[in-house]
A and B are shown apart, each in its own frame.
Chain A
């Protein structure tokens, strides 16, 4: 039993779920209260982008999907919507990282910021596709800009957190 529990804990996606839950509590509490320029900061999308930055596009897509699914559980949007969008964000962040010759901290910041902003633009588009009305307007760009800027600040620690969570089990041992 304990052996199985340890095996589960060693799984990198299980660790990502636990990290995701922690960040989700911060998202629904402190980042829900702190709204610079009236915009709710989105650290969940940053986590999805960081998964891609830390471990590449494939792991980023799966990690983004898991994080999006967690976020879907507390939102009123259709289940799977954030999962799909965050999977794209994680994938794009991973692809972007692979295109950089020698990644540095500031390139990660830039990529995390851009991926977050893309996520904030894709989310209302996806909502509109699923039937929501009136949310696709110029305000989306403002939200994307603010979220991108603030996520740039937080992207380095988020990327380190994801790098740790998504480490291969052998490396952990």
Chain B
């Protein structure tokens, strides 16, 4: 009995020691562990692919049973969204092109100048605690650890493991993910007043100038993209009365940097523009069931209160793994904190991480990590 107990203790001790050694080696980036994983992948992937072909009908049947209604609803919603988006797409493309031209004219980097590699998502992590997907491109395509991964909607994550013909992408929702981001604060929602002179309709508002008084019907203009009105410019004047049909914005509703208004600052904002303010923060994933958050946003009065719907884009920088201005998502909730602690922002991601297929990997390395040729 004592002998048996000794053997048992020895076995348990041996297993514990082996685990600790393996964990330590892996956390220190041992090449042996990486080689073992890679070699196992080479052997195991073909078996897995064959099994996937055989078992796909089971998965499809399950998804058909459990997600049919969701898919139908999603289809209707997407049809509406496509119809809604078509109008503003052309204006948006024109704006993006103009922005890229401006950036290139000023010698500033743009996403268009970064080489990329397209890959397909071939699997996801079977774990409940890590949010990773596997793609079918690896070091042969020039991929390296840390490179940002995007789909058509925006950023989805970064590469964490690279093998010869496959890579592992850590999604934005993974608790281990962190990235420097910019929050572009939107101007306050505007209610525009327009109409024919002399017309009087139920809900009215009165504007008075030095010469005439007109009663105008209230018309509220909204667009799908907060703060974006194709072709519209926001110009304000505190001295002239609006002409009939002219778009006016109440002075208290525009952003803190009002165009055409002089402050003590030497920087002047040209009239006709309402340049949104930007603030930086750190995006952190919180698991698949919760939206990522942005921390370390400074509580600056100039920046004002962060509005729901404000876009979140990558900040870039010499040490950031992602180039600037990649769309990440928009603010869905603002949690204000007391004192000098800045708010915590919950982010709704632009990309749908549940349905990933083709992705694009930007072959981008921050300037601090680029190897300079001798």
Any A CB within 8 A of the CB of B11:
yes
Cβ < 8 Å to A, chain B residues 268-319: 284-289
> Which of B56-64, B181-189, B331-339 interfaces with chain A?
B56-64
Any A CB within 8 A of the CB of B127:
yes
Contact with B along A30-55 (1 / 0, CB 8 A): 11111010111010000000000000
Which A-chain residue is minimally distant from B21 (CB atoms)?
A80
Any A CB within 8 A of the CB of B15:
yes
Any B CB within 8 A of the CB of A89:
no
CA A132 to CA B7, docked complex, whole Å: 34
Structural contact, A79 and B55, CB atoms closer than 8 A: no
Any A CB within 8 A of the CB of B12:
yes
Q: When A and B form their complex, what is the total count of cross-chain residue pairs whose Cβ atoms lie within 8 Å?
A: 143
| A65 in contact with B26 given A75-B130, A79-B37 (CB within 8 Å) | no
Report B-chain residues with C-beta under 8 Å of the C-beta of A171.
Answer: none
Q: Name the distance in Å between B64's Cβ and chain A's nearest Cβ.
A: 11
Any A CB within 8 A of the CB of B125:
yes
Any B CB within 8 A of the CB of A74:
yes
Which B-chain residue is minimally distant from A139 (CB atoms)?
B289
Structural contact, A139 and B125, CB atoms closer than 8 A: no
Structural contact, A29 and B48, CB atoms closer than 8 A: yes
* Cβ 8 A contact of A84, one of B16, B25, B287, B288: B16
Which one of B27, B41, B59, B128 has the highest number of Cβ atoms from chain A below 10 Å of its Cβ? B128
Report B-chain residues with C-beta under 8 Å of the C-beta of A131.
Answer: 27
CA A24 to CA B41, docked complex, whole Å: 12
Report A-chain residues with C-beta under 8 Å of the C-beta of B55.
Answer: 26, 29-30, 33
Cβ < 8 Å to B, chain A residues 72-97: 72-81, 83-84, 87, 91
* Cβ 8 A contact of B59, one of A24, A33, A39, A75: A33
| A79 in contact with B48 given A30-B59, A40-B128, A120-B128 (CB within 8 Å) | no
Report B-chain residues with C-beta under 8 Å of the C-beta of A42.
Answer: 126, 128
CA A124 to CA B59, docked complex, whole Å: 27
Report B-chain residues with C-beta under 8 Å of the C-beta of A147.
Answer: 128
Structural contact, B36 and A73, CB atoms closer than 8 A: yes
Any A CB within 8 A of the CB of B82:
no
Contact with A along B1-35 (1 / 0, CB 8 A): 00000011001100110111111011100000100
| A123 in contact with B129 given A30-B58, A87-B15, A139-B287 (CB within 8 Å) | yes
* Cβ 8 A contact of B129, one of A24, A29, A127: A127
Q: Name the distance in Å between A72's Cβ and chain B's nearest Cβ.
A: 8
Cβ < 8 Å to B, chain A residues 111-155: 120, 123-124, 127, 130-135, 137, 139-140, 143, 147
Q: Name the distance in Å between A102's Cβ and chain B's nearest Cβ.
A: 23
Structural contact, B23 and A40, CB atoms closer than 8 A: no
* Cβ 8 A contact of A25, one of B37, B48, B128: B48
| A25 in contact with B11 given A34-B62, A74-B126 (CB within 8 Å) | no
* Cβ 8 A contact of B23, one of A91, A130, A137, A143: A130
Q: Name the distance in Å between B316's Cβ and chain A's nearest Cβ.
A: 25
Which B-chain residue is minimally distant from A69 (CB atoms)?
B22
Which B-chain residue is minimally distant from A91 (CB atoms)?
B12
* Cβ 8 A contact of B26, one of A31, A38, A62, A80: A80
Structural contact, B175 and A75, CB atoms closer than 8 A: no
Any A CB within 8 A of the CB of B179:
no
Contact with A along B255-272 (1 / 0, CB 8 A): 000000000000000000
Structural contact, B23 and A78, CB atoms closer than 8 A: yes
Structural contact, B132 and A80, CB atoms closer than 8 A: no
| A84 in contact with B19 given A32-B126, A58-B8, A77-B127 (CB within 8 Å) | yes
Report A-chain residues with C-beta under 8 Å of the C-beta of B349.
Answer: none
Any A CB within 8 A of the CB of B104:
no
Which one of A34, A36, A78, A79 has the highest number of Cβ atoms from chain B below 10 Å of its Cβ? A79
Q: Name the distance in Å between B223's Cβ and chain A's nearest Cβ.
A: 34
Report A-chain residues with C-beta under 8 Å of the C-beta of B284.
Answer: 134
Q: Name the distance in Å between A73's Cβ and chain B's nearest Cβ.
A: 4
Contact with A along B357-372 (1 / 0, CB 8 A): 0000000000000000
Any B CB within 8 A of the CB of A27:
yes
Report B-chain residues with C-beta under 8 Å of the C-beta of A139.
Answer: 287, 289
Which one of A29, A87, A137 has the highest number of Cβ atoms from chain B below 10 Å of its Cβ? A29
* Cβ 8 A contact of A124, one of B18, B58, B125, B129: B129
Query: 30 A-B contacts, Cβ less than 8 Å apart?
Result: A21-B44, A25-B51, A28-B126, A29-B55, A30-B58, A32-B124, A33-B59, A34-B58, A34-B62, A40-B126, A57-B8, A73-B41, A74-B40, A74-B41, A75-B130, A77-B127, A78-B27, A79-B23, A79-B26, A80-B19, A80-B22, A81-B23, A83-B22, A84-B15, A84-B23, A124-B129, A133-B176, A134-B284, A134-B287, A147-B128
Interface residues, chain B, with chain A CB atoms under 8 Å away: 7-8, 11-12, 15-16, 18-23, 25-27, 33, 36-37, 40-41, 44, 47-48, 51-52, 55-56, 58-59, 62-63, 66, 123-130, 132, 160-161, 168, 170, 175-176, 284-289
The 5 closest A-B pairs by CB, nearest first: A134-B175, A80-B22, A33-B59, A84-B19, A30-B55
